[in-house]
Structure 1
Amino acid sequence: MSTLATKLREGLPDEAVLTDPDITASYAHDMASFCPAGTPAVVVLPRDVEQVRHVMRTATELRVPVVPQGARSGLSGAANATDGCVVLSLLRMDNIVEIDPVNRFAVVEPGVINADLAKAVAAHGLAYPPDPSSWEQCTIGGNIGTGSGGLCCVKYGVTAEYVLGLDVVLADGRLLRTGRRTAKGVAGYDLTRLFVGSEGTLGVVVGAVLALKPAPPPRLVLAAEFGSATAAGEAVARIMAEGHTPSLLELMDTTTIAAVNRLTRMGLPESTRALLLAAFDTADPAADLAAVGELCRDTGATEVVPAADDAESEMLLAARRSSLSALEAVKGTTMIDDVCVPRSRLAELLDGVEAIADRHRLTIGVVAHAGDGNTHPTVCFDSSDPDESGRARASFDEIMALGLELGGTITGEHGVGVLKREWLARELGPDSLELQRGIRRVFDPLGILNPGKVL
């Protein structure tokens, strides 16, 4: 380790190279449960691209693994350290380099917080739509690494659709530029899209050109209560089938509603089995909410309440954003799934999760980006109880299997990391897995970039 630290300090200031075990241990893992984490040899905090290149050249020379990290808010173990690795934290590379209102793009470093970028571009009348629930904490680099989504992806799409180009430091220290700054471009293979969602296994993202949109009008939100998951799922299907374009279509089950009430005292209706939140940011959002409200009533909603103004809308969205924190407070530990199914199978997934919870005698709350079928079943358990922890892990695996059975995928936006490696192999099959491993070897022949993750 002394040789490693010495060589790293040749291209980094002393304060950017951390070796104190008590400090480096705090960088060992992200927010995922049931994911092993090793002990890093050193943590580095570079401030510019040349410093990152020095780290990767040193790691290649010494054959040391490197684990890139953002805010460590991930939920799959992708940022977890391996024994003896260099943790490469990109948090200090947090500059918004450029905002171009004419060409509608922003150039940013990987450590920029999602919410900070949103506020900066809003000053120019623009918007960066991807908005994960952790948007006030997570970084753009982490969003790119996991291919994250967010509450508004039903209308505006996910991170991959906004990444025009990337600056990437490869395993051997070379700097690769991909993509473009133009609105269109199809020159060569789409390496930019390849890096999005690669979880730091192909290279280290050190810069990004991100597409922006004109800022939408203020949105209004509607809340609809349903007596069953089937009725709520039917409402989602009708809303989408009849051509509506909500900017947000979110679902919270009764377990989640009760947890949010305990945490926030918001007074959400606990008698309902499912609460559907729909938002519109169109020219006439009230008219769109009225039409969707009628659809909800037709499919069995027991109560439909449109927000009267921005304040009521933001209160309802605050309830949805607080749901994961609220579920974590139930037992102290959560295991958050990320199964995405076709919208038409959403109700089956919800009913199946409820049956799994009953079978394993567990509390499992479900929140969902209902508009695109991406569900987050959240298993609440006491990590100090071995029996309950075992049941939690078993329930997680059953939910994953259910998602695949319904024609879905094991992850819609959280990524694979350590948590879902086995399940990725089941979803992809041997031929696809072999090809993807071959791609990884092209970019990282020594296998030093985030080993043990994804594939």
Structure 2
Amino acid sequence: MIMSRIEARRDEDTVAAGPLVDRLLGGLPPEAVLTDPDVTASYAHDMASFCPAGRPAVVVLPRTVDQVRHVMRTATELRVPVVPQGARTGLSGAANATDGCVVLSLTKMDRILEISPVDRIAVVEPGVVNAALSRAVGEHGLYYPPDPSSWETCTIGGNIGTASGGLCCVKYGVTADYVLGLDVVLADGRLMSTGRRTAKGVAGYDLTRLFVGSEGSLGIVVRAVLALRPKPPGQLVLAAEFSSSAAACDAVCRVMAGGHVPSLLELMDRTTVEAVNDMARMGLPESTEALLLAAFDTTDPAADLAAVGALCEEAGATRVVPAEDAAESELLLQARRMSLVALEAVKGTTMIDDVCVPRSKLGEFVDGVERISEKHRLTIGVVSHAGDGNTHPTVCFDATDPEESRRARESFDEIMALGLELGGTITGEHGVGVLKKEWLAREIGPVGLEMQRAVKQVFDPLGILNPGKLF
């Protein structure tokens, strides 16, 4: 009986999707059109918790711009929603499917089209993996700085969609700072180019910046011109232990006020340190309440680390240990990169917040998160791009326990409210997606929301591009 119902449901899906699939196959090879419900279900959502996801009618995996244009023309003619996706490493539900949609997975468009050492640009397709681009440009003595923790799997298109950051933001900035130009397929299938290849350019409105962070709601990025930098010298990392998160945050303020420009300034609280040790036996100091990692990629990183180490001691560091070489530095960075995965292993599920506050308010924010953790009787680890005030309080909970899940959601909301109260923003790099729609409205207000919806209407009058996201 159960199997019969499953087969009947699949037959209904096939019948409903038939005209759509037939039209898509008119411009796509059969292997690029996936209709098996078990397969399409695997494309239904990204890595965010508490975000509803629907059942796609079909998943398409185009390899060319013309194929993407065919998908969008078909979707417009049939009035079918389209949900663009990269590697689905997102943390806000921005890549989640809606019922009956076309999931447009861009992972097969993964070519690096050009690397120019003279112009210091790379031209890439959206499916290029961040780490693959970094390695490729490195062979030319160049550097692409944005490096999200998921850099080994996340794609440039996804990074552009959410305006991703990474560990090096404090010195080098975020994805938006490196996108010079885009080719974008609009909702009706037209192809538009924005931006430039040149170092400077102010011709007209900055539509490139408009698309960066738009979460696939305005168009489909099919090509990007990215700025590159000369490859810096290898960096050295310092680890400083503190008896309180407040002292560690004080050290961050001292470093930034002192005019130092670290290539990395990251904070891990005791909960995060313990989780990393439990998962990977990294040997991090579990006696510490907060571990601050600072790095410099200057010509004399040892001298810079010594200066920052002295500031950490003035702020109350109980121990300051500079790495002696690149290998030791990489071990510390590896520990930081695995923080979110390690926290997920604590209870099996996490809600990863992404609140950014002014650096001067970082200590207040971290203390506030600790109070929220105690109030809701939950494990909440805090890992932070401390140099720019971007924090990732991570709520660990058992998703099979309804009561614990409720407390997790409440704590998540209280953390975002705290961030706004301190003059911050609800997202520094993960985006809004489904998870933070209500909070976007609170942050930007009714007039701001009206203007954002007006922009959406211009680019997507039928509302078929990633519906239900942002607002």
Q: Tell me, yes or no, whether TM beats 0.5.
A: yes
Q: 2:50, 2:207 → 1: CA distance?
A: 32
Match in the other structure for 1:330: 346
Q: 1:367, 1:145 → 2: CA distance?
A: 23
Q: Is 1:408 aligned to residue 421 of structure 2?
A: no
Q: Is 1:384 aligned to residue 393 of structure 2?
A: no
Match in the other structure for 1:6: 22
CA drift of 1:229 comes to 1.4
Q: Where in structure 2 are there 5+ consecutive unaligned residues?
A: 1-16
CA drift of 1:270 comes to 1.0
Q: Is 1:18 aligned to residue 52 of structure 2?
A: no
CA drift of 1:298 comes to 0.4
Match in the other structure for 2:442: 426
Q: Partner of 2:363: helix, strand, or coil?
A: helix
Q: Partner amino acid for 2:456? A: R
Match in the other structure for 1:262: 278
Match in the other structure for 1:308: 324
Q: Is 1:233 aligned to residue 276 of structure 2?
A: no
**Aligned with residue 272 of structure 1, among 288, 294, 298:** 288
**Aligned with residue 118 of structure 2, among 102, 109, 112:** 102
The 4+ residue runs of structure 1 with deviation greater than 4 A are: none
Taking only the aligned residue pairs, the percentage that are identical comes to 80
Match in the other structure for 2:150: 134
Q: Partner amino acid for 1:438? A: A
Q: Deviations over 1:256-294 (max 9, x none)?
A: 000000001011111111100000000000000000000
Q: 1:210, 1:5 → 2: CA distance?
A: 35
TM-score, normalised on structure 1?
1.00
**Pairing of 1:320-359 with structure 2 (within 5 A):** 320-359=336-375
Match in the other structure for 2:411: 395
Q: 1:368, 1:353 → 2: CA distance?
A: 12
Q: Partner amino acid for 2:384? A: A
**Aligned residue pair count:** 455
Aligned Cα root-mean-square deviation (Å): 0.4
Q: 2:163, 2:281 → 1: CA distance?
A: 33
Q: Partner amino acid for 2:367? A: D
Q: Partner amino acid for 2:162? A: T
**Aligned with residue 298 of structure 1, among 302, 305, 314:** 314
Q: 1:300, 1:230 → 2: CA distance?
A: 10
CA drift of 1:22 comes to 0.4
CA drift of 1:130 comes to 0.2
Q: Partner of 1:57: helix, strand, or coil?
A: helix
**Aligned with residue 217 of structure 2, among 201, 219, 243:** 201
Q: Partner amino acid for 2:152? A: E
Q: Partner of 2:94: helix, strand, or coil?
A: coil
Q: Partner of 2:119: helix, strand, or coil?
A: coil
Q: Is 1:221 aligned to residue 237 of structure 2?
A: yes
Q: Partner amino acid for 2:291? A: L
Q: Where in structure 1 are there 5+ consecutive unaligned residues?
A: none
Match in the other structure for 1:37: 53
Q: Is 1:71 aligned to residue 87 of structure 2?
A: yes
Q: 1:36, 1:447 → 2: CA distance?
A: 19
Match in the other structure for 1:161: 177
Q: Partner of 2:318: helix, strand, or coil?
A: strand
Q: Deviations over 1:33-80 (max 9, x none)?
A: 000000000000000000000000000000000000000000000000
**Pairing of 1:111-126 with structure 2 (within 5 A):** 111-126=127-142
Q: Is 1:89 aligned to residue 105 of structure 2?
A: yes
Q: 2:282, 2:447 → 1: CA distance?
A: 50
CA drift of 1:419 comes to 0.1
TM-score, normalised on structure 2?
0.96
Q: 2:31, 2:238 → 1: CA distance?
A: 50
Q: 2:415, 2:286 → 1: CA distance?
A: 24
Match in the other structure for 1:187: 203
Q: 1:33, 1:230 → 2: CA distance?
A: 29
**Which is further off, 181-190 or 263-272?**
263-272
Q: Partner of 1:132: helix, strand, or coil?
A: coil
Q: Partner amino acid for 1:60? A: T
Q: Deviations over 1:165-204 (max 9, x none)?
A: 0000000000000000000000000000000000000000
Q: Partner amino acid for 1:286? A: A
